């Protein structure tokens, strides 16, 4: 870009910016996902876990976790020249859920990240987005050593509507995360089109 014009002489493209939430249970990989795909250094609000939090923070299955998000994670990714996603990772513990209403304001859609070893931990996020009619996809984060289940079994366990996409992913892998984010955008666009057609008919 030179003096506000592209090198090929075309006017600069003003990108559309969209807000995507990344939610899920404690220790499911939300901070990792945002960090894996963000093209800027992610903003993180992590604090060390303390003895005071032991009675309320269930570390079963994530015993090696030493920090937790207390406000949000923030990152950015350009999917196309004209499409930029801002990613907001929500805190996973119940005592920080009051942040969700603020973070969800103006969101196009969400990723609910899930761990098959602690699948019940994402129930609250699924319920939250269903109640507020915010389109979301389920991203099953494939942790090493975690059992692999057929997608239909996971869908039944989560009692998902048939139109909610369910995708396998690796929160550490940029291309895997990009595929999930593309899935969120596509699902949100499909949901919006369906709502428009329902209103006009």
**Confidence grade of residue 197 (pLDDT, cut at 50, 70, 90):** confident
**Residue 56: pLDDT over 70:** no
Mean pLDDT of 143-169: 91
81-119 confidence digits (pLDDT tens): 999 999 999 886 666 667 788 889 999 999 999 999 999
Q: What is the pLDDT of residue 75?
A: 94
E strand map for 52-198: 67-80, 83-89, 109-114, 136-141, 166-169
Cα torsion angle, 93, 94, 99, 102, sign: positive
Tally of CB atoms within 10 A around 139: 31
Task: Say if residue 7's pLDDT is above 90.
Answer: no
Nearest partner of 73 among 38, 100, 43, 99, judged by Cα: 43
| Residue 55, pLDDT score | 47
The yes-or-no verdict on residue 5 having pLDDT over 50 is no
Q: How many Å from the N-terminal Cα to the C-terminal Cα in the chain? A: 46
Distances (CA, A) of 16 to 22, 80, 83, 183: 19, 10, 5, 17
Q: Is the per-residue pLDDT at 53 higher than 90?
A: no
Ranges of each domain in the chain = 16-200
Fold for domain 16-200? Rossmann fold (3.40.50)
Rounded to 5°, the CA angle 57-128-95 comes to 25
- Given this model, what pLDDT does residue 3 score? 37
| Predicted local confidence at residue 65, as pLDDT | 43
Tell me if residue 98 falls in helix, strand or coil: coil
Q: How far apart are CA 25 and CA 126, in angstroms?
A: 10
Task: Cite the DSSP H helix spans in 73-173.
Answer: 99-104, 123-131, 151-158
Phi-psi region of 153 (alpha: psi -120 to 50; beta: other; left: phi over 0): alpha
Angle between helices 30-37 and 174-200 (to 10 degrees): 100
pLDDT of 141 over the 80 cut: yes
Q: What are phi and psi of 28, to 5 degrees?
A: -85, -15
1 pLDDT higher than 50: no
Half-sphere exposure (Cβ direction) of 193: Cα atoms closer than 13 Å = 6
The pTM of the full predicted model, rounded to 2 decimals, is 0.79
pLDDT of residue 172: 96
- DSSP state, 74? E
Residue 190 has pLDDT above 90, yes or no: yes
């Amino acid at each position: 870009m030179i003096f506000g014009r592209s090198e090929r002489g075309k006017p600069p493209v003003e990108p559309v910016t969209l807000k995507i939430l990344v939610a899920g249970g404690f220790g499911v990989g939300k901070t990792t996902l945002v960090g894996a795909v963000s093209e800027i250094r992610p903003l993180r609000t992590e604090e060390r876990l303390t003895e005071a939090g032991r009675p309320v923070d269930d570390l079963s299955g994530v015993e090696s976790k030493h920090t937790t998000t207390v406000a949000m994670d923030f990152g950015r990714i350009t999917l196309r020249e004209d499409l930029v996603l801002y990613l907001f990772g929500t805190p996973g513990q119940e005592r920080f859920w009051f942040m969700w209403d603020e973070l969800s304001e103006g969101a196009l859609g969400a990723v609910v990240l899930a761990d098959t070893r602690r699948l019940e931990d994402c129930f609250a996020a699924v319920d939250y987005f269903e109640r507020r009619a915010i389109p979301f996809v389920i991203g099953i984060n494939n942790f090493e050593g975690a059992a692999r289940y057929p997608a239909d079994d996971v869908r039944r366990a989560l009692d998902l509507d048939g139109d909610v996409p369910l995708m396998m992913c690796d929160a550490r892998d940029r291309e895997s995360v990009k595929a999930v984010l593309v899935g969120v955008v596509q699902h949100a666009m499909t949901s919006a089109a369906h709502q428009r057609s329902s209103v006009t008919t």
